[in-house]
Chains A and B, each alone.
Chain A
């Protein structure tokens, strides 16, 4: 953090919206060079990230579009979608009157956590230098190598108090369910730094099949079934007692949908009622922890057969826990003008498109 470069970021938000999921990308991997030690640059060149899929390049499920992106999101300068700040300003921030945008840089989780930690540190510096300091509407996420809790905690402590960062970013598919104690130091550090933990969808995690019944054949399935990773994480966090032991912890579930949440909460409540002897650290009905501690971003918007049904679901979840997100520049981007299939009241609109995010992230 720099007192000169990092201007006062506490200006109240009176107009505009908040976009809680924007993906910045690198024009080339060289963009990280200023912050990545030579050892790791050489390692990446020779061995790569070594994630848990059968390919060294490409994705295990071919996506629906090049770079998983909107066809019109390729910047005129020839870089990949999400790599050009000027074009992102024009196509996303200005066009949609976005007052604040939260960056969510996506990178593969290396099996080598020393590499992962160095890479995350470099990505965090890159977000600040290449994006947030150049564009006052943007905020960064602290990326961490969560599988080595000590290294992750060190990175969080390093960023604590830096107003460029508004949350810690974890993937929805991790090496173990997030409620397991190996991750608790990360939650303690997040609470100490007063930063929420964001969980963003990813398709490759600990190498487990996407379903208990094996691997899907198609992107259509894998994309849909990513929501189950969020459900499993919430079940784990609640039943392991994470919110009992970290009462100020706040979680933001990004790009995992939300229509499944009421059902999950009801099912968890019933299971807890029957089997609380097995999970003594969960001391209240799971739905209560969920209602208090977890926020959800909207994209990709759920689209009921009868649009009005969405109102039932949002009411069950709580309007104060819903955050608008575009997922720019990805193919399933939600346009703030057309994303909702129902008409929101002014109060609902303000909460979802601005106020909930401002209070969660201390933006206004």
Chain B
């Protein structure tokens, strides 16, 4: 197995807010009282229940508390373990999906301040995505403005499936503001559960919800293309996080064909999905849904773009064992790009703060 190059940049590391009490110091007195009085707690995202085997590698599960809450373990297993130059923290939190947009704003602000104090200030290799209340794009834009002065925030983080599709003009203030600060927008697999997880309704099992995350990401990507977001915000960069990757060729083949046949309906959709993808979109490389080296190599041939993939462990999620953080079959020449060059090109703030 090929090893991860020293100084690699891990573009998807998950940390978790242990509980609501951890956020209280980062809230106003009014919100603290509201939350304590009402007993508001929990709000773990149903897209990633912490107890499921995929949510945490057995040897990365801390003895106490939730996965992704132990800085020492993160240092040992990931930062030191892989000899990383930097790691981008993606904190998934219920504040992204609660129905009240005001509660959402209070929670997301607290999560971002907690990220700074509890993580970014503790290890110079850490960077983070800004958690935003997409329920109200004006609030989200204001939160981006508030956090962006800290250069350690390198990305804006959204969930794939929300109230309405991500390409809709409703969300454009988020993209405009991200670009204003030179921040890519990371879209992470998962759902606000405003709609059934699939177009055929509610499955019986979490495993089906999990498998369907790729569909949510594909749908979000096609929405961004079809609504003309990349025309309106030409400098927008999208990072699809934890997407599974191998769906990409099949998606493109169909998207290109549909676009050729149907683009009269969307006159602003002027560039082929393949061109939009290669210009504006990047994907984290873990998980890479393919069984072995031969299939990975073939899929990479279909993708035919060395700039597209970003190294990620997806810590603490369980996709690989031991040190095998690189998908099997990754050609030698691609590994340095994946681990260092592509992340630096995708996240301009990394280049500025790591040099």
Contact = CB atoms under 8 A, between A and B. Distances in A.
Interface string B242-269: 0010110111111111110111111001
A244 to B, nearest CB: 15
Interface residues of A, number: 70
A229 B160 CA distance: 18
A174 B201 contact: yes
Given A275-B207, A312-B298, A213 B191 contact: yes
Contact of B289 (A211, A215, A270, A306): A270
B96 to A, nearest CB: 13
Contacts of A300: 254, 257
Nearest to B251: A260
Contacts of B211: 231, 235, 264, 267-268, 271
B342 interface: no
Contacts of B259: 220
A217 B215 CA distance: 17
B54 interface: yes
Contacts of B263: 220
Contacts of B222: 216, 221, 224-225
A331 B264 CA distance: 14
Contact of A178 (B200, B251, B302): B200
B304 interface: yes
Contact of B253 (A278, A279, A302): A302
Nearest to A172: B200
A239 to B, nearest CB: 6
Contacts of B162: 213-214
B39 interface: no
A220 B266 contact: yes
Given A212-B161, A213-B160, A217-B226, A176 B201 contact: yes
Interface in B187-224: 191, 194-208, 210-212, 214-216, 218-220, 222-223
A23 interface: no
Contacts of A210: 199, 219
Contacts of B163: 214
Contacts of B318: 274
A316 B252 CA distance: 18
B265 A213 contact: no
Contact of B200 (A215, A233, A240): A233
Nearest to B203: A177
Contacts of A225: 199, 215, 218-219, 222
A134 interface: no
B293 interface: no
B196 A208 contact: yes
A180 interface: yes
B53 interface: yes
Interface in B295-345: 295, 298, 301-302, 304, 318-319
A97 interface: no
Interface stretch (B11-19, B66-74, B164-172): B164-172
A279 to B, nearest CB: 6
A316 B291 CA distance: 12
A304 interface: yes
B95 interface: no
A259 interface: yes
B270 interface: no
A212 B198 contact: yes
B227 interface: yes
Given A212-B195, A219-B262, 19 more contacts: A179-B204, A210-B199, A210-B219, A212-B215, A213-B191, A216-B223, A218-B266, A219-B265, A228-B219, A240-B205, A257-B254, A259-B250, A259-B254, A263-B247, A270-B289, A275-B207, A279-B205, A304-B249, A312-B302
14 contacts: A64-B262, A175-B201, A205-B200, A208-B198, A208-B201, A212-B191, A217-B226, A220-B265, A225-B218, A231-B215, A239-B203, A239-B208, A274-B318, A304-B249
Interface of A: 64, 172-180, 205-206, 208-221, 223-229, 231-233, 235-236, 239-240, 257, 259-260, 262-264, 266-272, 274-275, 277-279, 300, 302-306, 309, 312-313, 316, 331-332
Interface of B: 52-54, 160-168, 191, 194-208, 210-212, 214-216, 218-220, 222-223, 226-227, 244, 246-247, 249-259, 261-266, 269, 274, 287, 289-291, 295, 298, 301-302, 304, 318-319
